[in-house]
Amino acid sequence: MMNLFNFKLFGTNGFEKTTQYLQSELLERKFTIDIYRINQIYAENSVYLLLMNDGQDGNALEVLDSLNFLHKKDRLAPLIVVGIHCNEDRMQEYGTAFSADYLGRGSKAGLYSKFVMGELIPYLRSFLKIKNFKEKAIFGCSMGGLSALDIAWNNPHEFQKIGMFSPSLWWRRKAYDKGYNDNTDKLMLLQIRYGKYYSWLRFFFECGALDENADRNHNGVIDSIDDCLDIIKELKKLGYSNQQITYLELSDGKHDLPTWKKTLPLFLEWGFKN
């Protein structure tokens, strides 16, 4: 199913980053996979697994620094983070699995989801020698955040926590000038609306007040914030409580890596606090 091609080791004292190169039969391409972990043997059901879309941004997000800072402060439970690199097909592999958007983007999102569930996670269990994780979580930024929510939402018995930084929840099936309706044409919103309640799921949303300038419904709130709040409303209609949903709005937050870098340690401590 997948083959080990290469191995690199970075970092000392605490978390280290190892890099694997893995071949996916489903997507017919080689994935670069960064694994952040402490060099020790983990007991079954004792360690959390966190998958990260856009793993190529790990250095810019200072993932290793955040992990080691929290670890040294004894504020982090046993955790392994796996960064999944994207490639030039990012806008096809990320999206919503059940439907591409109005421009046909996201055409490989279903295959990407199957890669994560059917190829990557089984490989990690074998490579890490951990059959059962305490919990599995997934997060991403922008389109990676949309993808993270889509994957976890459609595999609720596999995940417990979902993190989304400035998620692209605008993903829609109609163009704005082709009869678009804010309530019926956002693809992730539709999935949530017709989904189910699972008591173990937890959601972390981050959005910046400076994330964008667009305000399509002219209500004085930028679209990226509106889109997050609309998803949260639908989650609450299904029965999800304030204890299961965390919404972080940064007054100086932008749609950029420095904002997400600042958000990352807050998310890590939210989801995996010791």
Count of CB atoms situated within 10 Å of the CB of 79:
25
> What mean pLDDT do residues 81-96 have?
98
Given pLDDT bands bounded at 50, 70 and 90, which one contains residue 124? very high
Count of CB atoms situated within 10 Å of the CB of 160:
19
**What percent of the chain clears pLDDT 70, i.e. is strictly above it?**
95
Q: How many residues does the chain have?
A: 274
pLDDT tens-digit readout, 228-238: 999 999 999 99
| CATH classification number, 7-272, choose in 3.40.50.1820, 3.40.50.800, 3.40.50.12160, 3.30.200.20 | 3.40.50.1820
pLDDT attached to residue 44 = 84
- Between 103 and 4, where is the model more confident? 103
Out of 40-44, 149-153, 248-252, least confident range: 40-44
pLDDT attached to residue 11 = 40
Given pLDDT bands bounded at 50, 70 and 90, which one contains residue 1? very low
pLDDT attached to residue 7 = 34
For residue 192, pLDDT beyond 60? yes
**Cα 257 from chain centroid?**
15
Instruction: Compute CA distances 219 → 169, 182, 241, 266, whole Å.
Output: 18, 13, 26, 29
Given pLDDT bands bounded at 50, 70 and 90, which one contains residue 4? very low
Domain boundaries, given as residue ranges, for the chain: 7-272
The pTM (predicted TM-score) of the whole model is: 0.94
pLDDT tens-digit readout, 61-76: 999 999 999 999 999 9
Given pLDDT bands bounded at 50, 70 and 90, which one contains residue 2? very low
HEC per residue, the chain = CCCCCCEEEECCCCEEEEEEEEEECCCCEEEEEEEEEECCCCCCCCCEEEEEECHHHCCCCCHHHHHHHHHHCCCCCCEEEEEECCCCCHHHHCCECCECCCCCCCCCHHHHHHHHHHHHHHHHHHHHCCCCCCEEEEEEECHHHHHHHHHHHCCCCCCCEEEEECCCCCCECCCCCCCCCCCCCEHHHHHHHCCCCCCCCEEEEEEEEECCCCCCCCCCCCHHHHHHHHHHHHHHHHCCCCCCEEEEEEEEEECCHHHHHHHHHHHHHHHHCC
Is residue 235 within 8 Å of 247, Cβ to Cβ? no
pLDDT tens-digit readout, 30-56: 999 999 999 888 888 899 999 999 999
- Contact partners, residue 258, CB within 8 Å, separation at least 6: none
pLDDT tens-digit readout, 196-207: 999 999 999 999
HEC per residue, 121-137 = HHHHHHHHCCCCCCEEE
Rounded mean pLDDT of the chain? 94
> What mean pLDDT do residues 11-25 have?
87
For residue 127, pLDDT beyond 50? yes
What would the two tokens of residue 6 be? 């290469």
pLDDT attached to residue 45 = 87
**Cα 221 from chain centroid?**
24
> What mean pLDDT do residues 146-169 have?
98
Count of CB atoms situated within 10 Å of the CB of 75:
14
> What mean pLDDT do residues 90-104 have?
97
